[in-house]
């Protein structure tokens, strides 16, 4: 049974704390360079865009025109991969007709653009690396619970076992079509979704674009998932707040990470959930049983150089639960993490132990430093 206390309905997203502190109450349009400030002699350009169901705040020290280009890149990407847009690569693939039989199974197929193929390929590698804790074919299950539409319901065991028969990322086939496009083939009743990695891919794409354009200082905040470019112009590290997953939190902040040149990506049950008969159901699903995870973990933050990897792992390690998540980290060398369990214990991996500080509200929380 998921503890209600862990849910925080509307948390303030705070980042670069000395710069911004704003409530995510919704924002409808992009405003390039809607705010200009100055720090360390450089000019700060900021903009806000609503895309991928998320308020996105971009802050760079440099040319405001880059923010216009960034907006275009986000829109183009969303148009390619949005699962709810029937014209996107993913929308078309999910709705495609059967074209062939592979291993005795009817397959449908669609041509996908290079960017979708790249995300798909990388996502499939992460599904494999996490042993299927991440599974991009979980979408029909997520949909049946109502997390895509807001028409929430608890499916029957029968419904879930039928749906789970079609969940298996290993059945996704990516094939070259001889030209520059890729054909993606999936079983007739399968539907895929890249939502678990979309924001991480986006923040990494923007980081690469800004960096290649000469930006050495900036902050990308996609609904609480943050990627830092360099440090602040005065060379101080960025201070990035990690949200509290607890509904009774007064400040909304679990702690603050001092960081530079990394992505800091959090998955939390509080982000999307519903309550029925006193029980909470959230949007991260265990592909083993098709149900919202209920393993004691209430928040996973992944810190690393690669935004895509961080996003994939924030979802996957949430699914794995604490013990498996810790041993996964111990066998890896490309990320650090903060895990929070429903009893309020905070686990911090050794690589960020010195740069992560619990907020004054959680100062007395038990903090366990994980070592390899
Ligand atoms: P968010 O996008 O809300 O910040 P995540 O990155 O953790 O959070 O992604 C959660 C989304 O991924 C869910 O809304 C759902 O669409 C999808 N999802 C849920 N469980 C899984 C899973 N086990 N594997 C892949 N995708 C999942
Ligand atoms: Mg994720």
Determine the structural domain holding residue 80 and report its residue range: 1-372
DSSP string computed for 317-332:
HHHH-HHHHHHHHHT-
Please give the tally of structural domains in the chain: 1
CA 58 – ligand 1 centroid, Å: 23
CA 280 – ligand 2 centroid, Å: 20
What is the pLDDT at residue 347?
98
Q: How far apart are CA 319 and CA 321, in angstroms?
A: 6
Q: What is the CATH number of the domain that holds 327?
A: 3.10.520.10
CA 267 – ligand 2 centroid, Å: 6
CA 283 – ligand 1 centroid, Å: 7
Alpha helices in the chain (DSSP H): 65-81, 89-94, 114-129, 139-144, 157-164, 195-212, 307-320, 322-330
Average pLDDT per block of 10 residues along the chain, 372 residues long: 43 36 30 56 86 94 94 97 97 97 96 96 98 98 94 96 98 85 95 97 98 97 95 95 94 97 94 89 96 97 98 98 98 98 97 97 96 96
* Residue 139: DSSP 8-state: H
* CA-314 nearest atom, ligand 1: 7
CA 89 – ligand 1 centroid, Å: 19
Q: Which residues surround ligand 2, an ion (CB under 5 A)?
A: 196, 311, 314-315
Which residue, by CA, sits nearest to atom 2 of ligand 1? 196
Contact 313, 335 (CB under 8 A): yes
Q: In terms of Cα–Cα distance, which of 273, 195, 266 is closest to 9?
A: 273
What is the pLDDT at residue 272?
87
DSSP string computed for 57-102:
EEEEES-THHHHHHHHHHHHHHHHH-TT-TTSHHHHHHTPPEEEEE
Q: Of 84, 195, 197, which is best to mutate to test ligand 1, by the most ligand atoms within 8 angstroms of its C-beta?
A: 195
Contact 225, 311 (CB under 8 A): yes
Residue ranges lining ligand 1, Cβ < 6 Å: 134-136, 138, 142, 147, 193, 195-196, 199, 267, 271, 283-285, 287, 311, 314-315, 319
Task: With H, G, I as helix, E, B as strand and everything else as coil, classify residue 128.
Answer: helix
The conformational region for residue 29 under phi > 0 = left, psi -120 to 50 = alpha, else beta, is beta
What is the pLDDT at residue 156?
96
Q: How far apart are CA 160 and CA 305, in angstroms?
A: 37
What is the pLDDT at residue 26?
25
Instruction: Report CA torsion sign: 281, 286, 288, 294.
Output: negative
Instruction: Provide the token pair at 155.
Output: 């499916």
What is the pLDDT at residue 36?
59
Q: For the sheet with 238-243, list strands across it.
A: 238-243, 253-259, 356-358
**Residue 179: partners with Cβ closer than 8 Å, 6 or more residues away:** none
């Amino acid at each position: 049974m998921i503890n209600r206390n862990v849910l925080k309905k509307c948390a303030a997203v705070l980042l670069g704390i000395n710069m911004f502190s704003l409530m995510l109450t919704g924002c409808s349009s992009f405003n390039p360079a809607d705010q200009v400030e100055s720090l360390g002699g450089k000019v700060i350009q900021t903009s806000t865009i609503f895309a991928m169901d998320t308020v996105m705040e971009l802050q760079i020290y440099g040319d405001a025109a880059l923010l216009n280009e960034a907006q275009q890149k986000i829109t183009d990407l969303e148009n390619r991969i949005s699962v709810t847009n029937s014209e996107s690569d993913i929308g078309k693939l999910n709705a495609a007709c059967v074209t062939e039989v592979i291993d005795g199974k009817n397959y449908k197929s669609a041509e996908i653009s290079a960017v979708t193929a790249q995300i798909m390929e990388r996502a499939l590698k992460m599904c494999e690396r996490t042993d299927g804790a991440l599974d991009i074919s979980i979408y029909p299950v997520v949909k049946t619970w109502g997390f895509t539409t807001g028409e929430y319901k608890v499916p029957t065991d029968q419904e879930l076992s039928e749906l789970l028969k079609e969940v298996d990322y290993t059945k996704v086939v990516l094939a070259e079509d001889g030209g520059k496009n890729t054909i993606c083939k999936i079983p007739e009743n399968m539907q895929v979704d890249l939502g678990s990695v979309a924001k991480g891919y986006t923040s990494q794409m923007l980081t690469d674009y800004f960096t290649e354009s000469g930006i050495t200082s900036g902050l990308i905040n996609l609904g609480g998932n943050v990627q830092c470019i360099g440090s602040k112009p005065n060379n101080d590290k960025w201070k990035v707040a990690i949200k509290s997953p607890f509904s009774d939190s007064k400040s909304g902040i679990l702690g603050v990470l001092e960081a530079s040149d990394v992505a800091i990506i959090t998955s939390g049950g509080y982000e999307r959930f519903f309550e029925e008969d006193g029980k909470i159901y959230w949007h991260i699903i265990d592909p083993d049983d098709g149900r919202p995870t209920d393993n004691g973990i209430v928040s996973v933050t992944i810190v690393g150089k690669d935004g895509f990897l961080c996003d994939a792992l924030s979802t996957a390690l949430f699914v794995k639960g604490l013990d498996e998540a810790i041993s996964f980290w111990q066998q890896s060398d490309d990320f650090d993490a903060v895990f929070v369990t429903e009893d309020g214990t905070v686990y911090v991996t050794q690589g960020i132990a010195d740069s992560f500080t619990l907020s004054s509200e959680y100062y007395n929380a038990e903090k366990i430093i994980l070592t390899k």
